[in-house]
């Protein structure tokens, strides 16, 4: 059992080291030697767990996808305020992207030309945004002239953009940018001017 535990820890260390390298240098410029050094293991140990850098990238994506699934659990049809769930979840995701290097690196792979795979996590986020806005529309919470596809694009792009800008400028705060975005977008989506904008990113606010 101790040997199995040690193998699990080594694998987790390698995934985190790979994520740190992808986040810092991009997939193409990250090297297996740097990743093994960052994990504090030998190159032989790395190759025992992963046959290639692409396998490491896939493992980073898989670990991040598990985290994302917990963040974007489906909004219950009975929830009294799907738009509130949408706002709070966008803030929670932005917060986790600043804190969790594995999640951030996996999202970064989605716009990394050297990765050359589908932007799986962004596609999952967009699908969740669409489902939540659809629920809001079915409940009559969207303004009559709101085009669902346009709303999905705007909300998805807001989180994508804040994450990318946060990488380029340490002074940029994704959570602050989203608060400003929602102060403009939420009244437009709901058709209620002067609507108070929830900015909480506490998981406790996401479900009734």
Q: What is the pLDDT of residues 159-207, one digit of tens each?
A: 878 777 777 676 677 778 888 899 999 999 998 754 444 444 444 344 3
100: containing domain = 64-205
Same domain for 128 and 45, yes or no, is: no
As a whole number of angstroms, the distance between CA 156 and CA 137 comes to 17
Same domain for 33 and 109, yes or no, is: no
As a whole number of angstroms, the distance between CA 53 and CA 47 comes to 10
- Range in 16-30, 82-96, 156-170 the model is least confident about: 156-170
> What's the confidence (pLDDT) of residue 111?
83
- Residue 163 to residues 48, 59, 93, 197, Cα–Cα distance (Å): 34, 21, 10, 21
Same domain for 90 and 56, yes or no, is: no
Specify the CATH number for the domain of residue 26.
1.10.10.60
- Number of structural domains (the chain) is 2
Among candidate residues 65, 66, 30, the one with its CA nearest the CA of residue 50 = 30
pTM: 0.86
> What's the confidence (pLDDT) of residue 173?
74
Same domain for 162 and 196, yes or no, is: yes
Among candidate residues 151, 156, 136, the one with its CA nearest the CA of residue 79 = 136
Residues 72-80 have a mean pLDDT of 91
């Amino acid at each position: 059992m101790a040997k199995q535990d040690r193998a699990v820890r080594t694998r987790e260390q390698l995934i985190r080291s790979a994520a740190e390298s992808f986040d810092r240098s991009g997939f193409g410029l990250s090297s297996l030697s740097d990743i093994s050094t960052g994990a504090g293991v030998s190159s032989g140990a790395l190759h025992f767990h992963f046959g290639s850098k692409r396998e490491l990238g896939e493992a980073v994506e898989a670990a991040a996808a598990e985290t994302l699934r917990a963040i974007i659990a489906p909004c219950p049809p009975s929830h009294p305020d799907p738009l509130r769930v949408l706002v709070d979840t966008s803030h929670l995701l932005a917060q986790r992207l600043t804190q969790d290097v594995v999640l951030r690196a996996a999202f970064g792979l989605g716009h990394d030309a050297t990765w050359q795979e589908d932007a799986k996590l962004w596609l999952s986020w967009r699908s969740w945004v669409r489902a939540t806005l659809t629920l809001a529309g079915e409940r009559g919470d969207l303004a009559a002239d709101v085009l669902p596809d346009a709303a999905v694009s705007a909300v998805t792009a807001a989180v994508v953009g804040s994450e990318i800008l946060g990488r380029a400028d340490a002074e940029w705060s994704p959570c602050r940018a989203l608060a400003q975005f929602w102060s403009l977008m939420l009244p437009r989506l709901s058709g209620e001017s002067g609507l108070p904008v929830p900015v909480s990113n506490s998981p406790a606010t996401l479900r009734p």
